[in-house]
Structure 1
């Protein structure tokens, strides 16, 4: 009967012909499924215990409440047999030790090569201090056991988020867009009337002439949904790349800050299962302080304002979403050596005296502590260069992620995007490690907070730009 049906419909004369045709049909279908991109997402809670020392400032704060949870968010992409994982942590930073341990655990548990994992921190200033055993601690008197226990547990939780995302891999339709969010992120360095450069010089300051540099209003987006999706509830994830310091909330309560607020805005539209990951753009010299805004900008309600405005920009960018064609995933990284700055014996002696006697950054002590801690950290390196990773992940010739190892000035991120051969380049700072501020060369001459805090010498940022552009060019070939 089967043969006669095929004869009637297709003119086949023999069973072998039918078998060959069926085999070809099945192979083609299987190949199509194998080539179809897949996406998996997951989030694991990494909220610390109350009382833990909080990061971000040069004075002590203990967490006395939780505004919203901290998460390890994982996005796994699969295309043409290759998988990569992008992780966003609601933390002030991710250290080299944490990344190395997390990658090793991910490889052990999931089989995913560690080099195929990019781990970024959102830089929230309402998260715990971190301290890996055997490494220097920013906490006066050393890190208490609760901080070390929290830090050493992180790699396992990061690996768990990736494992769950891998388990949830499913076919997806991916799209990309480049939106803009004007007048939300601002350069926090200003040229003053006396010719100097001020850092956060205060609202309505009559001595301000103009910003000392640019900002970056671009909102880079990767969006994934079910292949048959007809509405927002059938989406999986929005990955957002935006450059703005994550310090809008303040206080002593744990919070993911504006990335958490943005996540809630997007989940309110797409549904509770929709995951939003923030890859922090280069914002070492950018923040949210709008000197034309009349009200305070350092409380919990500020993150709601920021999340609402940025969420609106993401919704506008959705109108520009374009399909991301199926293409191979490729990964490449390079180790770059960055020299530390010079520190004199007099600077070192003064630094030791300041750190021993000054315990709070308020009351005019802020820059004293900044310079002192920088001098001690640089001296501890004994001239050894920083060996840092620059990592690039490419989806065909359309989309690339690029990691940078610290708080990078916006001029450097813009230079990478302008020279990148990829139409969509998501530059992610504080990824895989953190060596502190990385200003552009000009800013070292101008001085003030970030250059005087930097643990790497002038020219380091430009060196990273060259390494990044080289990696991107190689992946685009």
Structure 2
């Protein structure tokens, strides 16, 4: 008996295995001629400004693994997420449920032909798009496989920056009492923004025990729609990564995820200055990189721990529509993909009505996922373009001192406004394929998962650490 007790004590006193991180990137740039995503009309790519990538981090301790992946895409449809997870599990043994796959939401990436789209593609564009879509899960899995093969002992540090000059709420109270969307620069009818911004810049830094940079994870709530045109581009995260690598070395991976930016963009309506093109993307990426570099001076070392995950599927109610609206929408759908063939909001509403009708009453399935690394840091994935008020509320409710919320993770249900926005209307509400209250349901789900994972379930984080 005494021998067993001594043996048990010896086992309990063994040091924990090293926490490990692996980082990798795989190019996912489509061929020329592929259909481009981001708008309500067809565009065929004719060049590459900068390549698109799937970037992956794998976390491991004591044989327990999890992964986060960020793709330079407008979104990653749910079927592609499921196919990629299956391939990842086959290649690495990492359960698909422990992998978070998100999109950065660049508007200069490809259309993915999985499920309903707002494009009527045909000919070569359709053929190229189908082939690329079929191959994408393999490329995403390859990124995780390479990151898994690169696992090495690592340390975790985190800090929080604040950048208020780049992101703006794009919804405005107007003089006529309405709420407008992107009403234009110096519009005299603007009264004030209809919502806040989220200036939070959470930064998670991974390095080796001897201080060699491995990866920097950056999250920021700002739409990636600064470039336009027909060239593939990752938008401002491209410059962000280049600037950080110039300081930390080309061997460090910069992985960017977009925060809750469903109602935010980069347009400052108080100035006349143009804000479109690669120069604007470079400006934003440079300013954001400067803020990230400032956080490096105050990085806080976090205790390493095996990754823990939780997820659940939330059933989101559908918006109502009248039979006459469906008949009207069916007349608009043949015009999808044709520039100026119908008013913009007609395209938006018609797609929402026809997509909702096709569900035949079945609610939207939305996966909410949390990956935690210890008691201080958690990554949250939400599957849509989430209004920033919801992301801020979630971070305030979280028991973790560092809560990083990525939208467009593990699929997309489209725009997810908060309750306040629904009666106000405007583009995001017209577009939304989930009913009022859906956003709050996602926040409640994520909060439950965060609390269930956190070891100090009754604790409340410091106020200054929530943002």
Normalising to structure 2: TM-score of the pair? Answer: 0.92
Residues 1:442 and 2:424 aligned together: no
Residues 1:299 and 2:281 aligned together: no
Residues 1:136 and 2:122 aligned together: no
Residues 1:250 and 2:224 aligned together: no
Question: Structure 2: where are the runs of 5+ without partners?
Answer: 1-5, 456-467
Q: Report the alpha carbon displacement of residue 136 of structure 1 after superposing the two structures with TM.
A: 2.7
Residue 358 of structure 1 contacts residue 365 of structure 1 at CA under 8 Å; is this kept in 2?
A: no
Give a deviation string over 1:15-49, Cα, whole Å, max 9, x none.
xxxxx9xxx8xx999x54x5221111000010000
Residues 1:178 and 2:160 aligned together: yes
Q: Report the alpha carbon displacement of residue 391 of structure 1 after superposing the two structures with TM.
A: 0.5
Q: Report the alpha carbon displacement of residue 317 of structure 1 after superposing the two structures with TM.
A: 1.3
Name the SS for the 1:55 alignment partner.
coil
Flag the 1:361–1:440 CA change in 2: closer, same or farther, 3 A: farther
- Matched residues, number: 445
Q: 1:125 aligns with which of 107, 119, 126?
A: 107
Q: Report the alpha carbon displacement of residue 296 of structure 1 after superposing the two structures with TM.
A: 1.3
Equivalent residue number for residue 367 of structure 2: 389
Question: Structure 1: where are the runs of 5+ without partners?
Answer: 1-19
Give a deviation string over 1:69-121, Cα, whole Å, max 9, x none.
00010011113432111100000001110111111111111111111100000
Q: Report the alpha carbon displacement of residue 356 of structure 1 after superposing the two structures with TM.
A: 2.6
Residues 1:282 and 2:260 aligned together: yes
CA distance in 2, matches of 1:293, 1:71: 34
Name the SS for the 2:313 alignment partner.
strand
Residues 1:467 and 2:445 aligned together: yes
Q: 1:411 aligns with which of 380, 386, 389?
A: 389
Q: 2:200 aligns with which of 218, 230, 236?
A: 218
Q: Report the alpha carbon displacement of residue 137 of structure 1 after superposing the two structures with TM.
A: 3.4
Residue 80 of structure 1 contacts residue 329 of structure 1 at CA under 8 Å; is this kept in 2?
A: no
The structure having more radius of gyration, on CA atoms, is 1
Name the SS for the 1:86 alignment partner.
strand
Residues 1:150 and 2:132 aligned together: yes
Name the SS for the 1:144 alignment partner.
helix
Q: Report the alpha carbon displacement of residue 362 of structure 1 after superposing the two structures with TM.
A: 3.7
Equivalent residue number for residue 110 of structure 1: 92
CA distance in 2, matches of 1:353, 1:118: 38
Equivalent residue number for residue 333 of structure 2: 355
Q: 1:56 aligns with which of 12, 35, 38?
A: 38
Q: 2:141 aligns with which of 132, 143, 159?
A: 159
Of 245-254 and 142-151, the range deviating more from structure 2: 142-151
Flag the 1:382–1:224 CA change in 2: closer, same or farther, 3 A: same
Of 210-219 and 312-321, the range deviating more from structure 2: 312-321
Normalising to structure 1: TM-score of the pair? Answer: 0.90
CA distance in 2, matches of 1:362, 1:185: 28
Equivalent residue number for residue 55 of structure 2: 73
Equivalent residue number for residue 454 of structure 1: 432
Residue 72 of structure 1 contacts residue 157 of structure 1 at CA under 8 Å; is this kept in 2?
A: yes
Equivalent residue number for residue 87 of structure 1: 69
Q: How does 1:5-44 map to 2 (within 5 A)?
A: 31-32=14-15, 35-44=17-26
Residue 240 of structure 1 contacts residue 276 of structure 1 at CA under 8 Å; is this kept in 2?
A: yes
Give a deviation string over 1:370-400, Cα, whole Å, max 9, x none.
1111111111111110111100111111000
CA distance in 1, matches of 2:271, 2:253: 31
Q: CA RMSD in A?
A: 1.7
After TM superposition, where is structure 1 displaced by more than 3 Å over at least 4 residues in a row?
A: 357-364
